[in-house]
Amino acid sequence: MADSLILEVADFEQDVLTGIYSEETGKPQPLRFTITVKLRPADHYAPDTPLTASKNYMDLKFAASEALPQGVHFKLIEAVADHVCETLFLQDERVEAVTVKIVKLALTEVNELIGMTLTRERR
């Protein structure tokens, strides 16, 4: 079995222009993101290994916040997830796969998690 390094940012909330219903369009919707990245690992991690041997976790958060185009309305949250994946692939050639889970908070009721998960592998 090959080595792998999995990085994750879980339960990060961001408002995004998304939705298909009239009550959703024209205003940002609160989304909860969990982003997991499979990264090609270094051969070894010593106590003094620099950050460049891994990936900054904030890059994952950036892909679901500042990297989303301002003023663009995504009809589907699947399109939001796809954009996050592509951003992370473009950032770092060591990224082998990305999983983005999105929960639509405006639609949830007590103990419900309504959303989707998209996994993409580098092509």
**pLDDT tens for residues 17-29?**
998 887 777 889 9
pLDDT in tens, 57-80: 999 999 999 999 999 999 999 999
**Residue-range domain boundaries for the chain:** 5-42+53-121
Average pLDDT value for residue range 83-106: 96
pLDDT of 61 reads 96
The CATH number, out of the four listed (3.30.1130.10, 3.10.110.10, 3.30.590.10, 1.20.120.1200), of the domain defined by the range 5-42+53-121: 3.30.1130.10
Task: Please check the confidence at residue 109 and state whether its pLDDT lies above 80.
Answer: no
CA angle 71, 77, 83 (to 5 degrees): 65
Residue whose token pair is 């961001």: 14
Q: Where are the beta strands (DSSP E) in 21-114?
A: 28-39, 95-104
CB-count burial class (<10 Å; 0-12, 13-18, 19+) for 54:
middle
Q: Give percent above pLDDT 70 in the chain.
A: 100
